[in-house]
Protein backbone atom coordinates (compact mmCIF):
# COMPACT_ATOMS: atom_id res chain seq x y z
CA UNK A 1 0.00 0.00 0.00
CA UNK A 2 1.46 3.36 -1.04
CA UNK A 3 1.87 5.75 1.88
CA UNK A 4 1.13 9.46 1.84
CA UNK A 5 4.13 11.78 1.80
CA UNK A 6 3.81 15.28 3.26
CA UNK A 7 5.59 18.33 1.89
CA UNK A 8 8.13 18.41 4.76
CA UNK A 9 8.75 14.68 4.35
CA UNK A 10 9.39 15.12 0.65
CA UNK A 11 11.65 18.11 1.28
CA UNK A 12 13.77 15.89 3.55
CA UNK A 13 14.03 13.21 0.85
CA UNK A 14 17.53 12.84 -0.56
CA UNK A 15 18.44 12.12 -4.15
CA UNK A 16 15.68 14.13 -5.85
CA UNK A 17 17.17 17.61 -6.42
CA UNK A 18 15.30 17.97 -9.74
CA UNK A 19 11.85 17.96 -8.10
CA UNK A 20 9.84 20.57 -6.19
CA UNK A 21 6.60 20.28 -4.21
CA UNK A 22 3.75 22.50 -5.46
CA UNK A 23 0.04 22.27 -4.55
CA UNK A 24 -0.02 18.64 -3.50
CA UNK A 25 2.20 17.37 -6.32
CA UNK A 26 5.87 17.20 -7.22
CA UNK A 27 7.14 18.68 -10.47
CA UNK A 28 10.32 18.66 -12.52
CA UNK A 29 11.42 20.20 -15.81
CA UNK A 30 14.05 18.68 -18.11
CA UNK A 31 15.57 20.42 -21.13
CA UNK A 32 17.20 18.94 -24.25
CA UNK A 33 19.11 20.71 -27.00
CA UNK A 34 16.48 19.74 -29.57
CA UNK A 35 12.95 18.41 -29.84
CA UNK A 36 13.82 14.80 -30.69
CA UNK A 37 15.61 13.81 -27.46
CA UNK A 38 12.85 15.48 -25.43
CA UNK A 39 10.19 13.49 -27.29
CA UNK A 40 12.17 10.31 -26.72
CA UNK A 41 12.24 11.03 -22.99
CA UNK A 42 8.46 11.35 -23.02
CA UNK A 43 8.22 7.89 -24.61
CA UNK A 44 10.53 6.49 -21.94
CA UNK A 45 8.50 8.12 -19.17
CA UNK A 46 5.34 6.60 -20.64
CA UNK A 47 6.91 3.13 -20.63
CA UNK A 48 8.10 3.53 -17.04
CA UNK A 49 4.68 4.79 -15.97
CA UNK A 50 2.95 1.82 -17.59
CA UNK A 51 5.36 -0.55 -15.88
CA UNK A 52 4.64 1.08 -12.52
CA UNK A 53 0.92 1.43 -13.26
CA UNK A 54 1.24 5.02 -12.06
CA UNK A 55 0.88 7.81 -14.58
CA UNK A 56 2.07 11.43 -14.40
CA UNK A 57 1.02 14.48 -16.39
CA UNK A 58 3.69 15.15 -19.02
CA UNK A 59 4.01 18.32 -21.11
CA UNK A 60 6.35 18.52 -24.13
CA UNK A 61 7.18 21.95 -25.55
CA UNK A 62 9.43 23.28 -28.29
CA UNK A 63 12.39 23.51 -28.51
CA UNK A 64 12.94 20.59 -26.15
CA UNK A 65 11.36 21.09 -22.74
CA UNK A 66 9.65 18.30 -20.79
CA UNK A 67 7.63 19.16 -17.68
CA UNK A 68 6.40 16.34 -15.43
CA UNK A 69 3.82 16.49 -12.62
CA UNK A 70 3.43 13.55 -10.24
CA UNK A 71 0.48 13.10 -7.90
CA UNK A 72 -1.61 10.15 -6.72
CA UNK A 73 -5.11 11.08 -7.84
CA UNK A 74 -6.75 8.36 -5.76
CA UNK A 75 -5.75 10.22 -2.58
CA UNK A 76 -5.46 13.71 -4.11
CA UNK A 77 -1.92 14.05 -2.86
CA UNK A 78 1.64 12.79 -2.86
CA UNK A 79 2.54 9.16 -2.05
CA UNK A 80 5.57 6.91 -2.07
CA UNK A 81 4.55 5.78 -5.57
CA UNK A 82 5.17 9.31 -6.84
CA UNK A 83 8.55 9.49 -5.12
CA UNK A 84 9.71 6.21 -6.63
CA UNK A 85 8.56 7.14 -10.13
CA UNK A 86 10.29 10.52 -9.74
CA UNK A 87 13.57 8.70 -9.08
CA UNK A 88 13.07 6.64 -12.23
CA UNK A 89 12.26 9.68 -14.36
CA UNK A 90 15.27 11.64 -13.11
CA UNK A 91 17.50 8.66 -13.93
CA UNK A 92 16.02 8.40 -17.43
CA UNK A 93 16.55 12.12 -18.04
CA UNK A 94 20.15 12.03 -16.81
CA UNK A 95 20.97 9.00 -18.96
CA UNK A 96 19.45 10.75 -21.99
CA UNK A 97 21.56 13.83 -21.34
CA UNK A 98 18.71 16.20 -20.51
CA UNK A 99 19.34 18.99 -18.02
CA UNK A 100 17.15 19.83 -15.04
CA UNK A 101 15.67 23.34 -15.23
CA UNK A 102 13.74 25.52 -12.74
CA UNK A 103 10.22 24.21 -12.24
CA UNK A 104 8.49 27.60 -12.44
CA UNK A 105 5.21 28.25 -10.65
CA UNK A 106 1.56 27.16 -10.45
CA UNK A 107 -1.22 29.71 -10.83
CA UNK A 108 -4.60 29.85 -9.07
CA UNK A 109 -7.23 32.60 -9.29
CA UNK A 110 -9.06 33.57 -6.10
CA UNK A 111 -12.44 35.31 -6.20
CA UNK A 112 -13.80 37.01 -3.07
CA UNK A 113 -17.60 36.87 -2.91
CA UNK A 114 -20.44 37.61 -0.53
CA UNK A 115 -22.57 34.80 -1.99
CA UNK A 116 -20.26 32.08 -3.31
CA UNK A 117 -23.14 29.81 -4.33
CA UNK A 118 -24.49 32.59 -6.57
CA UNK A 119 -21.13 33.53 -8.09
CA UNK A 120 -19.54 30.14 -8.66
CA UNK A 121 -21.98 28.82 -11.34
CA UNK A 122 -21.19 31.81 -13.57
CA UNK A 123 -17.47 31.10 -13.48
CA UNK A 124 -18.04 27.38 -13.99
CA UNK A 125 -20.10 28.11 -17.11
CA UNK A 126 -17.96 30.86 -18.64
CA UNK A 127 -14.71 28.93 -18.15
CA UNK A 128 -16.06 25.50 -19.10
CA UNK A 129 -14.60 24.18 -15.82
CA UNK A 130 -15.77 21.40 -13.51
CA UNK A 131 -16.15 21.01 -9.75
CA UNK A 132 -13.21 19.74 -7.73
CA UNK A 133 -13.68 17.92 -5.59
CA UNK A 134 -17.21 16.80 -6.53
CA UNK A 135 -19.91 18.44 -4.40
CA UNK A 136 -20.29 17.15 -0.86
CA UNK A 137 -23.75 16.12 0.42
CA UNK A 138 -24.36 19.71 1.56
CA UNK A 139 -23.42 20.98 -1.90
CA UNK A 140 -20.17 22.61 -0.81
CA UNK A 141 -17.68 23.14 -3.65
CA UNK A 142 -14.64 25.33 -3.13
CA UNK A 143 -12.63 24.89 -6.33
CA UNK A 144 -13.24 24.85 -10.08
CA UNK A 145 -10.66 23.16 -12.31
CA UNK A 146 -9.92 22.88 -16.01
CA UNK A 147 -10.96 19.36 -17.11
CA UNK A 148 -7.88 19.34 -19.37
CA UNK A 149 -5.68 20.20 -16.34
CA UNK A 150 -4.09 23.06 -18.29
CA UNK A 151 -5.67 26.31 -17.06
CA UNK A 152 -5.37 27.60 -13.48
CA UNK A 153 -7.79 26.53 -10.77
CA UNK A 154 -10.36 29.07 -9.54
CA UNK A 155 -11.30 29.13 -5.87
CA UNK A 156 -13.69 31.26 -3.83
CA UNK A 157 -13.09 33.14 -0.60
CA UNK A 158 -15.94 34.25 1.63
CA UNK A 159 -16.30 37.99 2.25
CA UNK A 160 -18.07 39.30 5.34
CA UNK A 161 -19.04 42.67 3.86
CA UNK A 162 -18.83 44.54 0.51
CA UNK A 163 -15.40 45.80 -0.45
CA UNK A 164 -15.88 48.16 -3.42
CA UNK A 165 -12.55 49.99 -3.12
CA UNK A 166 -10.30 46.92 -3.22
CA UNK A 167 -9.83 44.26 -5.87
CA UNK A 168 -11.92 41.14 -5.32
CA UNK A 169 -10.09 38.86 -7.76
CA UNK A 170 -6.42 38.07 -7.19
CA UNK A 171 -3.94 35.48 -8.37
CA UNK A 172 -2.11 33.01 -6.12
CA UNK A 173 1.32 32.20 -7.54
CA UNK A 174 2.68 29.04 -5.89
CA UNK A 175 6.44 28.76 -6.31
CA UNK A 176 9.10 26.33 -5.11
CA UNK A 177 9.93 27.25 -1.54
CA UNK A 178 13.53 28.04 -2.43
CA UNK A 179 12.48 30.52 -5.12
CA UNK A 180 9.99 32.60 -3.11
CA UNK A 181 12.38 35.26 -1.86
CA UNK A 182 13.76 35.94 -5.34
CA UNK A 183 10.27 36.12 -6.84
CA UNK A 184 9.12 38.60 -4.18
CA UNK A 185 12.24 40.73 -4.62
CA UNK A 186 11.72 40.81 -8.38
CA UNK A 187 8.09 41.88 -7.97
CA UNK A 188 9.04 44.69 -5.60
CA UNK A 189 11.88 45.80 -7.87
CA UNK A 190 9.37 45.93 -10.73
CA UNK A 191 7.29 48.55 -8.91
CA UNK A 192 5.21 46.43 -6.52
CA UNK A 193 5.13 46.56 -2.76
CA UNK A 194 4.63 44.18 0.14
CA UNK A 195 1.15 44.43 1.65
CA UNK A 196 1.58 41.76 4.34
CA UNK A 197 3.95 38.98 5.34
CA UNK A 198 1.92 38.00 8.42
CA UNK A 199 1.33 34.49 7.02
CA UNK A 200 4.78 33.96 5.50
CA UNK A 201 6.08 31.53 4.48
CA UNK A 202 2.66 30.16 3.58
CA UNK A 203 2.01 33.30 1.54
CA UNK A 204 3.00 36.93 1.10
CA UNK A 205 0.49 39.51 -0.14
CA UNK A 206 1.96 41.85 -2.77
CA UNK A 207 0.37 44.63 -4.80
CA UNK A 208 1.16 46.47 -8.02
CA UNK A 209 1.51 50.29 -8.10
CA UNK A 210 -2.29 50.67 -8.31
CA UNK A 211 -3.05 48.30 -5.45
CA UNK A 212 -4.06 45.16 -7.38
CA UNK A 213 -3.01 42.23 -5.23
CA UNK A 214 -1.31 38.89 -5.80
CA UNK A 215 -0.08 36.28 -3.35
CA UNK A 216 3.21 34.44 -3.61
CA UNK A 217 2.70 31.07 -1.91
CA UNK A 218 4.78 28.06 -0.81
CA UNK A 219 4.07 24.80 0.99
CA UNK A 220 5.90 25.98 4.09
CA UNK A 221 4.22 27.10 7.34
CA UNK A 222 0.95 25.38 6.46
CA UNK A 223 -0.98 22.87 8.58
Q: What is residue 134's predicted lDDT score, i.e. its pLDDT?
A: 60
What φ, ψ does residue 74 adopt, rounded to 5°?
-65, -25
CA distance linking residue 92 with residue 107, whole number of Å:
28
Q: CATH homologous superfamily of domain 106-217?
A: 2,3-Dihydroxybiphenyl 1,2-Dioxygenase, domain 1 (3.10.180.10)
Q: Give the homologous superfamily in CATH for domain 7-101.
A: Transcriptional coactivator/pterin dehydratase (3.30.1360.20)
Domain ranges for the chain: 7-101, 106-217
pLDDT tens for the chain, 223 residues: list them: 789 999 999 999 989 999 999 999 999 999 999 999 999 999 999 999 999 999 999 999 999 999 999 999 888 899 999 999 999 999 999 999 999 999 999 999 999 998 988 899 999 999 999 988 765 555 555 799 999 989 999 999 888 888 777 778 999 999 999 999 999 999 999 999 999 999 999 999 999 998 889 999 999 999 7
Q: Which residues make Cβ contacts (< 8 Å) with residue 82, sequence separation at least 6?
A: 5, 25, 26, 54, 70, 71, 72
pTM of full prediction above 0.75: yes
Residues 6+ apart with CB under 8 A from 50: none
Amino acid sequence: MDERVSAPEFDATTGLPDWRYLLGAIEATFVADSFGPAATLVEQIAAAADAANHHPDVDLRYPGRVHVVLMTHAVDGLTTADVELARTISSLAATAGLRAAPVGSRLEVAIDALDIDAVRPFWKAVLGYEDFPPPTPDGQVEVLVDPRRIGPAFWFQQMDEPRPQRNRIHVDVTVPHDEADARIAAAIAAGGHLVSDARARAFWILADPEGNEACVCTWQDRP
